[in-house]
Amino acid sequence: MSIVDRKERDKQIRRNDILVAAEKVFAARGFHNANVSEIAKEAQYGTGTVYLYFKDKEDIYRALILKGLDDFFASVQERTLSLTDPVEKLKCFLAEKFRFFEAHKDFFKLYIVENNSLQSAFSSEREQECMDRHMRIFAIGAAIFQEGIDAGMFKPADPKELAFMFGGLSNYLMMKMVFDGSGGSIERKTDLVMDIFLNGCRKVDGKTQV
Amino acid sequence: MSIVDRKERDKQIRRNDILVAAEKVFAARGFHNANVSEIAKEAQYGTGTVYLYFKDKEDIYRALILKGLDDFFASVQERTLSLTDPVEKLKCFLAEKFRFFEAHKDFFKLYIVENNSLQSAFSSEREQECMDRHMRIFAIGAAIFQEGIDAGMFKPADPKELAFMFGGLSNYLMMKMVFDGSGGSIERKTDLVMDIFLNGCRKVDGKTQV
DNA sequence: TCTATTTATGAATCGTTATTCAATTTCGCA
DNA sequence: TGCGAAATTGAATAACGATTCATAAATAGA
């Protein structure tokens, strides 16, 4: 058994080496400009070896997105579950999003920047898997808004729409941060987004309040 | 003169035919998957003809973005200039954004979805022109927030950051609308975004208010 | 109408790169 | 150590598609 086990484990290690290299190369040059031999070289393998672990170039990309989303989902789930207050949950979700993507900037680039433009071109079996993971994460946000609405804390609105906009708001702030390094600490960005999304940017004293 | 003029005018017409075709093809298949002969066929010209009007494939794409942004800028500028109240300006800007992109969905796909992933790969002379136009539009938003802050209507904050997030919020709602047709009327979407961004999604009666 | 000039064409070229595969190396085992 | 199986390799293949260019069509002016 030990030998079979080790082989399997080594296989996973090699597979992972390739994924790590691919993430770097894809993020640096974009899906279309990255080439497989480049990924292989980065991972210190021969070009053909890559094809022992992945069906084709797209398969590498999908596996990468899948792994990233699974990791993100797991970490959000773990931190969010113990909380009950919707506002706290939302804040925790957001902070984790900033933390995770700041720690995985390459993944962020792939996921937010590249992914959209690839959707249309591809339709592998994995495509659906990726979409499932994406929706699962989206659903966390939508559920929190639903809870908040039910609890009378948030205005009645379509929770999916809210989750969508909340995601957009935070993604854009993250983009700014990933590309030009601005935005300040995770704490600051979290508070900023929470404040805008929950309270708005309108000043609330006296006559300017509507 | 008349002959020279006509030639020039015809040239512009042909150039525009190609741009119209390219917008359609790029939006449908993405920059990398679209091919030039496809664009030529869509425009009812031979492949080589395209190269009489554009330097290369990227040049077509850039010209498209440039034209779209110029049109958008002009229409926003025109409608916004006469207003004085920052909130009204913002609302007008947003409504125009929804109106414009809803009328030019293909352009929206190119600009929002494709553009990000192409930034890194390209660096033509036109690239800078596109970025200039982009910044010019962004500046309109940032200026409105600045005015609002100065007038004491908005919370003191970095107007650029606000403009960025405001853009993200509305883009995401637009994406939803462009891709699955949801979101309701322009009026409704505008009000939704304005309300969230200005007042937040928190319910403001009694104990739930902080 | 006829020639010169401009414009259009799409087949051929050329470069690129994903993918394959025959040859080689490594590994497990006796 | 030596044999067969499994894994690795990177050069060769094959497909694709941007760009060019020799040829043809259209046009302007005489």
Q: Is B165 on the interface with A (CB under 8 A)?
A: yes
The answer to the question of residue B210 being in a domain is no
Q: What is the CATH number of the domain that holds B147?
A: 1.10.357.10
- Cα-based distances in Å from B202 to A42, A141, A144, B48, B199: 49, 15, 13, 58, 8
Are residues B39 and B68 part of one domain? no
Nearest neighbour of A30 by CB, restricted to B120, B168, B171: B120
Are residues B125 and B91 part of one domain? yes
Out of B31, B54, B77, a domain closes at B54
Task: Look at residue B3 and tell me whether its pLDDT is greater than 80.
Answer: no
Residues 6+ apart with CB under 8 A from B72: B97, B100, B137
Q: Are B176 and A196 an interchain contact pair (Cβ–Cβ within 8 Å)?
A: no
Nucleotide nearest to B51 (CA to C1'): D19
Are residues B134 and B47 part of one domain? no
Q: How far is the CA of A57 from the C1' of C7 (A)?
A: 42
State percent of chain A over pLDDT 70: 93
Nucleotide nearest to A33 (CA to C1'): C17
How far apart (Å, rounded) are the C-alpha atoms in residues A39 and A71?
Answer: 22
Q: Tell me the per-residue pLDDT of B95-123, one tens digit each, with 9 for 90 and over.
A: 999 999 999 999 999 998 888 777 655 66
Q: Tell me the per-residue pLDDT of A13-41, one tens digit each, with 9 for 90 and over.
A: 999 999 999 999 999 999 999 999 999 99
Are residues B102 and B23 part of one domain? no
The answer to the question of residue B45 being in a domain is yes
The answer to the question of residue B161 being in a domain is yes
Q: Which of B155, B146, B157, B197 is nearest to B173 (CA)?
A: B197
Q: Are A199 and B203 an interchain contact pair (Cβ–Cβ within 8 Å)?
A: no
How far apart (Å, rounded) are the C-alpha atoms in residues B57 and A32?
Answer: 15
pLDDT class of B126 with cuts at 50, 70, 90: confident
Residue A182, pLDDT score: 87
How far apart (Å, rounded) are the C-alpha atoms in residues A38 and A24?
Answer: 10
Are residues B84 and B45 part of one domain? no
Nearest neighbour of B154 by CB, restricted to A121, A155, A203: A203
Nucleotides on chain C within 7 angstroms of protein Cβ: 6-12, 17-22, 28-29
How far apart (Å, rounded) are the C-alpha atoms in residues B16 and B13?
Answer: 5
Q: What is the CATH number of the domain that holds A43?
A: 1.10.10.60
Q: Is B142 on the interface with A (CB under 8 A)?
A: no
Are residues A128 and A35 part of one domain? no
Residues 6+ apart with CB under 8 A from A6: none
End-to-end CA distance of chain A: 72
Residue B208, pLDDT score: 41
Q: In chain B, how many domains are there?
A: 2
The answer to the question of residue B208 being in a domain is no
Residues of A in contact with B202 (CB under 8 A): 153-155, 198-199
Are residues A69 and A12 part of one domain? no
- The H-or-E segment that residue B172 falls in is helix B159-180
CB A153 within 8 A of CB B202: yes
Are residues B191 and B117 part of one domain? yes
Are residues B158 and B137 part of one domain? yes
Out of A26, A54, A82, a domain closes at A54
A-B CB pairs within 8 A amount to 135
pLDDT class of A181 with cuts at 50, 70, 90: confident
Q: Is A188 on the interface with B (CB under 8 A)?
A: no
Are residues A192 and A135 part of one domain? yes
Out of B38, B54, B70, a domain closes at B54
Q: Tell me the per-residue pLDDT of A107-148, one tens digit each, with 9 for 90 and over.
A: 999 998 888 777 655 666 778 899 999 999 999 999 999 999
Residue A120, helix vs strand vs coil: coil
- Give ∠ CA B105-B70-B20 in degrees, rounded to 5: 50
Whole-model pTM: value is: 0.91
Are residues B63 and B34 part of one domain? no
Q: Which of A59, A117, A28 is nearest to B33 (CA)?
A: A117
B183 to chain A: closest CA residue: A161
The answer to the question of residue B80 being in a domain is yes
- Cα-based distances in Å from B1 to A209, B11, B13: 62, 15, 18
Handedness of CA A195, A199, A201, A203 (dihedral sign): negative
**Structural domain that includes position B77:** 58-203
Are residues B195 and B143 part of one domain? yes
Q: How many CA atoms lie within 13 A of B130 on its CB side?
A: 23
Task: Look at residue A170 and tell me whether its pLDDT is greater than 80.
Answer: yes
State percent of chain B over pLDDT 70: 93
The answer to the question of residue B131 being in a domain is yes
Residues 6+ apart with CB under 8 A from A10: none
A6 touches strand D (CB under 7 A): no
CB A168 within 8 A of CB B171: yes
Q: Is A150 on the interface with B (CB under 8 A)?
A: no
How far apart (Å, rounded) are the C-alpha atoms in residues A170 and A175?
Answer: 9
Residue type, A156: P
Nearest neighbour of B32 by CB, restricted to A32, A196, A200: A32
Q: Is A209 on the interface with B (CB under 8 A)?
A: no
Q: Is B32 on the interface with A (CB under 8 A)?
A: yes
CB B39 within 8 A of CB B18: yes
